[in-house]
Amino acid sequence: MSKWNKDTTTKEILESVDLSGKKVLVTGASGGLGEETARALATAGASVIMAARDNAKNSEAKERILSSNSEAKLDLHELNLASLKDVTSSAEEFLSKNDSLDLLVNNAGIMCTPFGHTTDGFEQQFGVNHLGHHLFTGLLMPALEKAEASRVVCLSSGAHLICGVNLEDPMFERRDYDGWDSYGQSKSANALFAREFDRRYADKGIHAFSVHPGMIFTELGRHMTEEDMASLIERRKSQVKADEEPTDSTDMMSPKTVEAGAATTVWACVEKSLENQGGHYLADCQLGVPLASEDSSPGSCSMASHILDDEAAEKLWGLSEQLTGAVFD
């Protein structure tokens, strides 16, 4: 069992860790959890590629990190996950400059957005949060394979408990759109992706994990209205049994600091004991715990059964290859 908990910070995780010589790429590094992840790993000595869609914001994030650590090894990289063409160009640019990659942190994402589509016509939360990262990760496989014991860390969410992936209608073409259902679906997809990725590539020395960072107030929630937040709170209340008082272990609405929120991601990157736990869902710097039953109240480390479904994970992988037009060995 991990000695860490929901309040553990990135500084605590990395206190005796030396990442000198390691190369890391963090998507969505221009703010929030991505910026803190980049800052923390750079402080431990890693060379960090900060990938983001907005070059100006990414540059500002880099300067903030350098202001507290002038020795940080940071490079900026453009990545627009809402366009398969741009994702492909971004991966090609990275590979032209880098032979290997030790850690890939798929942190970028959007949450509870109004109904919309990516450049390629995908429902935007599924397209950005899952499909863009699926393609980007696959294209970076040559670099991940060249590194020794590389890892892929995928940001999921406790919101995966909302629903699994609707493989028959992932784009909401034949069902009513709901921002939280879409977000929950995309976060379940992130967890299933990590599970299937590890099954496929663990024998090559590459492991993948999915991570629930906890509730942190960052720009991720910029699309949320008061109604959206009220809806989320009501969903949470309906999950907790009437005879149960909310506690730290059951109240997923208790916000964390950014340093605590990024800690599980950093733990997934460096914790040696996770080497035999590939494909697992992590939360509060611990292994996720299967939700006992539909009648159980979920805690912050709870995993729904649908993200443990290997058949669903394999089907999602096939669908993702079909939608992105890219098949990887």
DSSP characters over 94-129: HHHH-S--SEEEE-----SPPS-B-TTS-BHHHIII
**Rounded to the nearest 5°, which phi and psi values hold at 158?**
-60, -15
| pLDDT score, position 102 | 98
CA 133, 41, 197, 201 torsion: positive or negative?
positive
Burial of 190 from C-beta contacts in 10 A (0-12 / 13-18 / 19+): buried
| pLDDT score, position 228 | 47
* Cα within 13 Å of Cα(34), Cβ side: 28
| pLDDT score, position 255 | 87
Active site residue 281: no
For the chain of 329 residues, list the mean pLDDT of each consecutive stretch of 10.
Answer: 88 98 98 98 98 98 98 98 98 98 98 97 98 98 96 97 98 98 98 98 97 79 52 52 43 78 98 96 97 69 97 98 92
Annotated catalytic residue, options 177, 183, 201, 281:
183
Domain ranges in the chain? 10-324
CA distance 7 to 149: 28
**Rounded to the nearest 5°, which phi and psi values hold at 156?**
-100, -145
| pLDDT score, position 298 | 73
pTM of the model: 0.90
CA distance 74 to 111: 27
Give the contacts of 38 (CB within 8 A, at least 6 positions apart): 24, 26, 29, 48, 50, 61, 65, 74
Strands 286-287 and 281-283: antiparallel
| pLDDT score, position 295 | 56
Contact assessment for residue 130 and residue 106, using Cβ atoms and an 8 Å cutoff: no
Q: What CATH number matches the domain at 10-324, 3.40.50.1110, 3.50.50.60, 3.40.50.720, 3.40.1190.20?
A: 3.40.50.720
| pLDDT score, position 19 | 98
